[in-house]
Structure 1
Amino acid sequence: MSDAIHDGPEADVTLVREELFSLCRRVLMRHGFSEPHVEAVSDALVAAEMDGSRSHGLYRLLGFIDTLKNGAVVPDAEPVVEDAAPSVVKVDANGGFSPYAFRQSVPALVTKAKASGIAILAVNHCVHGTALWVEIERLTREGLVAIACNPTQSYMAPHGGRAPLLGTNPIAFGWPRLNADPYVFDFATSAIARGDIELYRRQGKEMPLGWGVGRDGNPTQEPGEVLDHGAMLPFGEHKGSALAIMIELIAGPLIGDMLSVESSEHDQGRGSLPYHGELIIAMDPARITGSAAPQHMLRSERLFELVQQQGARLSSQRRYQARRRHHEQGVTLSRALYEDILRLTT
C-alpha cells in the first residue's frame, strides 16, 4: 500500500492494480476466505474497478463481508463439477461465491463447446455479486461466443406492477474479434443496476426519475426509499420486464435453481447478496461454420465498422479505454470508501 497517493486527510486515494489486488486479498483473508476464493473474487472485483465499473468493483467488498457475517456464504466452499451431458456442465458452488465455481468449471465448458459447437454451464447454489462481463471476456479469449445471465433477489417490479417480484437479472454477451477487444455487453434488465442506486445513497444524492418507485408505488428520486421500501423498475417498460422473466426461467427452474422471489425468501430479510444460480451458454464458431468460420467472423467486423462510422460507440468501448487509462494512472477511490474498506482489514 506504500504507493497510495495521499494529499491530505480528506483526499481521495489512487491505487495501482497490484495495490487494489492486495487490498482485496487483505480483506478476504482477514475474514477467513480460502485462498482459491480470495484469488477468484479479487480478480473479479479488481477487473471491474480497473474498467471503471465502480458498482461492481471494490465497493462490493462491503456487501461480501456483510453476507459472510450474516452466515449467508460459505467462505471455504469447494465447488463440485459434474459432467451432466455431452453439452452440459454443472457445478455446485456449495454456497460459496460464484467466481471460484466459474473458474473451476471453465475448462470443461470450453472443451464441450469446442467438441459439440455449443455447451451450457449451470452454476448452482452460489452467492453472486460480481460483473458477468468478467466471465464472458474469459470465454471470448477461447474464441467462443458466449451469453450469461442470472436472477438475483426480488428487487424489481414487473411492468405495470408496484411491488418487488423480479430480480435485476443481468444478461451479458461476448463476441471474439481478431486483433481487437471483444464486443461485450453486460446490463441489468432493470433501468439501472442496483449497485448504482446503492452508490447514490452512499453519496447522499438523489437519483434520476424512472429508476424506481417508493412504498406508495409512485416514482421517487430517493435511493433509500427504493432500496428499502419500494421497487426498482425495468428498462424499456414491458420489454425489460419480459427479458427479466425469461432470465428468471432459464437461469432458475431450467437449471434447477431459485427464482428471485425464492432467493429473497431464502435470505429472510438479512440483506445479504443473492443466493441463486447462473446460466452460461458458449458457442464455437469453428464447429458451427467449419473451415469458413474465419471468413464469417471477418464479416462481423464490417458491422462494427459501420456502427462506428455513424459516430456510435460499441458496447464496452469505454471500459477498455478506462482499463488502459487506469493501468497507466491507477484507480482513484473516494477517501470514505477507502477508509471503509481498510476497516475491514482489522
Structure 2
Amino acid sequence: MTDDVTLSPTEAMDLARTALMRVGMAEAAAAALARATLDAEMAGKRPVGFLHLTDYLRSLVDGRITARAEPLITSPVPAIMKCNAMGGVAQHGFSLAHEELAAKARTFGIAVFSLHNSYTTGELGWYAARLAEEGLVALAATNGPALMAGAGGRQPVYCTNPLAFAAPLEDGRLLLVDQASSMAAFVDIREAAARGETIPDGWALDQDGEPTIDPFAAMQGALLAYGSTRGANIALMVEVLAAGLTGANWSLDAPDFQAGEATPGIGLFVLALSPQLFADDFPARLARQVERLSGEFGVHIPGLRRTERQRQAESAGIVLPRQLFDSISSFRRN
C-alpha cells in the first residue's frame, strides 16, 4: 500500500533502538531487543517483530519492564549459565551470555542457559537460530502468563508454551522449528480481533469454557492445545523446562504482559549442543538428508528460507504499515 513506510534495516534498527531508549531502556538492552525485533521482521515473523515491539514500549512506560535492569549471570558449574533478568528483557540477558554459552558448548559438547524474572521472550526461534548460526544444535523453551487450557481443562493454566529447535546445514542455511503448543499463537488471536475477523473453530474457548470463533471471547477465555492431550502434554513439558528448572513464575502465577505494573517474571531454557562431538560431518549429513526429504518426498523443512528472507529484506527494505510506524515513532518523540 502507498501508505506503508519502507525502511532500510539500519533505519529500522535505529527506529526500534531509539524508541526503546526514549522510554528509558538502557542502551545495551535496547540494542539487543532492537536486533531481535529486526531479525524477526526480516525473517517474516511479523507478529513478533515490530508489531510486538509496541508491547515492549508500552510495558516500559507502564513499569512491567524494568528499564535499567542489568541481568545477573552466574555459572554454578562450567556447563550451566543461569541468568536473573532482574525484571528486564530476555534478549539482553541472552545476548550477554551468548558468546560464552557457545564456547562452553564447544568445550563440553553441551551447555545450558536458563533465565528467569523476565518479560516475554519475543521470537523464540531467534535464540535457537543464533546458536545454529555458529554451528551448534539448539533447543529452546519458554513460558508466559496463562492463556491455554490443559488436558481435560477449560481454564487457562499454561501459556502457548512454544518450543524451538535449530540445526545448521553446511551451506549456511538452518533447519528451524519454532511452534507453539497451542492451536494458534496469542498474537494471531489478537490480530484477528484487531481486523474484526473471526477465528477458526477449535482454536479457543470462551469465558464459560464453550467453543468460540469470536477472538474477543477467546482472549477472555482459553486457547486450545494442538493435538488435544498431546499438545497439552508438550505444554506441560515446556512449563517444567522453562519455569520449573529456571525458577521462573509458573504460567498460572505470571502477571499479564499487557496490563498492570508487574513483570510476568517468565523463564527461558536453552540447550546448546556441539554436533561435531557427536557425529562426524554433521552439517553435510543433515544437508543431504534435508535435500532427500524435501526433494524426493516433498517434505516441508521449516527454517530453510529464513536466510533467504533476510537477504531479500536487506535489498527490499522493511515495510511497516503507516499506523505501526507512527505508533513506534510517537515513543521516540516522548
Q: What's the TM-score bracket when you normalise by the shorter of the two chains? A: over 0.9
CA distance in structure 2 between the aligned counterparts of 1:233 and 1:308, rounded to whole angstroms: 30
> C-alpha displacement at 1:324, in angstroms?
2.7
2:276 to 275, 286, 290: 286
Asked if 1:173 is matched to 2:165, the reply is yes
> C-alpha displacement at 1:272, in angstroms?
7.1
1:241 to 232, 242, 260: 232
Asked if 1:251 is matched to 2:242, the reply is yes
CA contact (8 A) 1:17 1:327 kept: yes
Which segment drifts farther, 84-93 or 148-157? 84-93
Sort the Cα spacing of 1:287 and 1:27 in 2 relative to 1 into closer, same or farther, 3 A: same
> C-alpha displacement at 1:90, in angstroms?
0.8
State the match for 1:335 in structure 2. 322
> C-alpha displacement at 1:153, in angstroms?
0.8
> C-alpha displacement at 1:186, in angstroms?
0.8
Amino acid at match of 2:301: L
Deviations 1:196-235 (A, max 9, x none): 22222222222222221111222222222111x1111111
Asked if 1:275 is matched to 2:262, the reply is no
CA distance in structure 2 between the aligned counterparts of 1:306 and 1:239, rounded to whole angstroms: 29
Structure 2 counterparts to residues 1-346 of structure 1, below 5 A:
7=2, 11-227=3-219, 229-264=220-255, 270=260, 274-289=264-279, 293-294=280-281, 296-309=282-295, 310-346=297-333
> C-alpha displacement at 1:268, in angstroms?
11
Amino acid at match of 2:278: I
Normalising to structure 2: TM-score of the pair? 0.93
CA distance in structure 1 between the aligned counterparts of 2:149 and 2:40, rounded to whole angstroms: 27
Which segment drifts farther, 270-279 or 168-177? 270-279
CA distance in structure 1 between the aligned counterparts of 2:37 and 2:126, rounded to whole angstroms: 9
> C-alpha displacement at 1:321, in angstroms?
3.8
| SS of residue in 1 equivalent to 2:50 | coil
CA contact (8 A) 2:110 2:274 kept: yes
| SS of residue in 2 equivalent to 1:240 | helix
Sort the Cα spacing of 1:46 and 1:268 in 2 relative to 1 into closer, same or farther, 3 A: closer
Deviations 1:155-213 (A, max 9, x none): 00113221111111111001111113111111111111111222222222222222211
CA contact (8 A) 2:68 2:88 kept: yes
> C-alpha displacement at 1:344, in angstroms?
2.0
| SS of residue in 1 equivalent to 2:156 | coil
CA contact (8 A) 1:129 1:274 kept: no
> C-alpha displacement at 1:14, in angstroms?
2.1
Deviations 1:236-295 (A, max 9, x none): 11111000000111211222222111113x879628773211110001122234xxx21x
| SS of residue in 2 equivalent to 1:48 | helix
Amino acid at match of 2:243: G
CA distance in structure 1 between the aligned counterparts of 2:261 and 2:200, rounded to whole angstroms: 24
> C-alpha displacement at 1:298, in angstroms?
2.6
Using the aligned pairs only, state the percent identity: 31
Gaps of 5+ in 1: 1-5
| SS of residue in 1 equivalent to 2:197 | coil
RMSD between aligned residues: 2.0
| SS of residue in 2 equivalent to 1:84 | coil
Sort the Cα spacing of 1:226 and 1:327 in 2 relative to 1 into closer, same or farther, 3 A: same
CA contact (8 A) 2:39 2:126 kept: yes
Normalising to structure 1: TM-score of the pair? 0.90
Deviations 1:33-71 (A, max 9, x none): 111011000000011111111110111122112212332
| SS of residue in 2 equivalent to 1:136 | helix
Which segment drifts farther, 310-319 or 134-143? 310-319
CA distance in structure 2 between the aligned counterparts of 1:38 and 1:323, rounded to whole angstroms: 21
| SS of residue in 1 equivalent to 2:269 | strand
CA distance in structure 1 between the aligned counterparts of 2:95 and 2:74, rounded to whole angstroms: 14
CA contact (8 A) 2:118 2:266 kept: yes
Sort the Cα spacing of 1:237 and 1:26 in 2 relative to 1 into closer, same or farther, 3 A: same
CA distance in structure 2 between the aligned counterparts of 1:340 and 1:134, rounded to whole angstroms: 24
CA distance in structure 2 between the aligned counterparts of 1:180 and 1:189, rounded to whole angstroms: 28
CA contact (8 A) 1:159 1:233 kept: no
CA contact (8 A) 1:79 1:100 kept: yes
CA distance in structure 2 between the aligned counterparts of 1:280 and 1:324, rounded to whole angstroms: 27
